[in-house]
Amino acid sequence: MTELNFRRYRPGDADPVWHLHEWALEEAGTDPADLPGVNDLRAVKATYLDDGDFVVGIAAEARRDERRLRTDDGVLVAMGGFLPSEAGHEDERAVAGAAELHRMRVAPTRQGSGHGRVLLETLEKRAAAGFDRLLATTAARQAAAVELYESAGYDRVGASAYGEYELRHFEKRLG
């Protein structure tokens, strides 16, 4: 596994974050235009950095097809954030004392290398400083994400539908 440096989002990451978001979803069979409320990725600083967090995983060297992911300190290959669950999207659960994971993505060229697990662990550690549990929602068709949450100790707590997407809801106590 290539070593990643995880750090907090900076304004210069805006374009690579957007490109990773679209690329990872397209590769997973999801049309990025189908997702609700993606304006948070156009305003990461205002959306996440006061009450939650947003981190990026930076690799030193780019691989094939990663040129649009370059930042001032490397190549963005993983990202994700969390917000208090009460501050999330209106179609999500609100649980007192909980944070909701958002926009977890790993570059398709790096998937299967453990970066998603390290990203999740990084977000869990950061969230534990202010929240007692984490919530997560993913499309059932994103089998790797479902497996990641289950293998990381998240309990499946429900299911719902959004348009053509079957969603799976997860929860994990922190600490």
CATH (domain of 136): 3.40.630.30
| Helices (H), ranges, the chain | 14-27, 44-48, 115-127, 143-151
**Total domains in the fold of the chain:** 1
pTM, to two decimals: 0.92
* Domain of residue 156, residue span: 5-173
Beta bridge partners of 82: 53, 101
130 CA to centre of own chain: 18
| Helix (H) and strand (E) counts in the chain | 4, 8
The two structure tokens encoding residue 159? 């299911």
Each of the 175 residues of the chain gets a pLDDT tens digit; together they read 678 999 999 999 999 999 999 999 999 888 888 877 789 999 999 999 999 999 999 999 999 889 999 999 999 999 999 999 876 555 567 788 999 999 999 999 999 999 999 999 999 999 999 999 999 999 898 889 999 999 999 999 999 998 888 999 999 999 8
Residue 150 φ/ψ, nearest 5 degrees: -65, -45
Residue 77: name the closest of 4, 11, 22 by CA.
Answer: 4
